[in-house]
Amino acid sequence: MSHVLVLGANGQIAREAIDLFLKETDVRLTLYLRKSSRLGNIDSNRARVIDGDVMDQVKLKDAMNGVDVVYVNLAGDLEQYARTIVETMKSAGVKRLIFISSMGIYDELPGQKYSSILDPYRKAASIVEASDLDYTVLRPAWFTRSNEIDYEITQKGEPFKGSEVSCKSVAALVVKLAESPELEIRRSLGVSKPH
């Protein structure tokens, strides 16, 4: 049984992933977020909840104790978050990282130019990619709330396909990667609905 730490556990994808982890796997979860009251009652003895800020390295390192996989689902100061998470994972001896970023950070969208609004996502991805961690960066398309799991992936350097993807699809990919830690190591994957 593996143990997954979810940073930003109240995010849209994270909530879907938590649901899938609890329904379809035997993974143990540590759910880390600023206000745990937002999660409501998690009805499982496989999940513990920690109130915390990812910038609190002492608390974050303590949350990583015994963890096999760190799954990052954050918004905000992504560059600084990425730097802190990578440093803390190194000091805690945790190697596997799944990091949610955004499509477009490599100017890979056909017919569209890179926008500076993506700078935090690009900088965070650069920090992750420069680390020696076993990372997978996910670059999802625009989110939908469709109750479906239907996605295709593209590798870094390939043109992005599609323009949207369901949160549930991205969550399913997160669960798959967490359960098969040898998959897509040191890769950056575009994720979109096939069209």
In whole angstroms, what is the distance from residue 112 CA to residue 34 CA?
35
Distance CA 106, CA 157 (A): 8
Q: Kindly give, in sequence order, each residue whose CB lies less than 8 Å from that of residue 161, ignoring residues fewer than 6 positions away.
A: 152, 154, 190, 192, 194, 195
- Per-residue confidence band for 168, with pLDDT thresholds at 50, 70 and 90: very high
21's enclosing H/E stretch is helix 12-24
- Tell me the pLDDT band of 56, cut-offs 50, 70 and 90: very high
- With vertex at residue 133, the alpha carbon angle to CA 80 and CA 103, rounded to the nearest 5 degrees, is 60
Q: What predicted TM-score, i.e. pTM, was given to this entire model?
A: 0.95
Task: List Cβ neighbours of 119 (8 Å cut-off, separation of 6 or more).
Answer: none
Strands (E), the chain: 3-7, 28-33, 47-51, 69-72, 96-100, 134-140, 142-144, 152-155, 164-166, 187-192
At residue 15, φ and ψ (nearest 5 deg) are -65, -40
* 130 contacts 180 by C-beta, under 8 angstroms: no
Alpha carbon distance 47, 9 (integer Å): 11
C-alpha 123/C-alpha 80 separation (Å) is 9
Q: What is the pLDDT of residue 39?
A: 87
117 against 192, higher pLDDT: 192
Q: How far is CA 76 from the centre of its chain?
A: 14
pLDDT tens for each residue of 11-32:
999 999 999 999 999 999 999 9
Q: Please give the single-letter amino acid code of residue 117.
A: I
Q: What is the pLDDT of residues 61-115, one digit of tens each?
A: 999 999 999 999 999 999 999 999 999 999 999 999 999 999 999 989 888 887 8
Residue 1 has pLDDT above 90, yes or no: no
The predicted structure's pLDDT at residue 80: 97
pLDDT of residue 43: 75
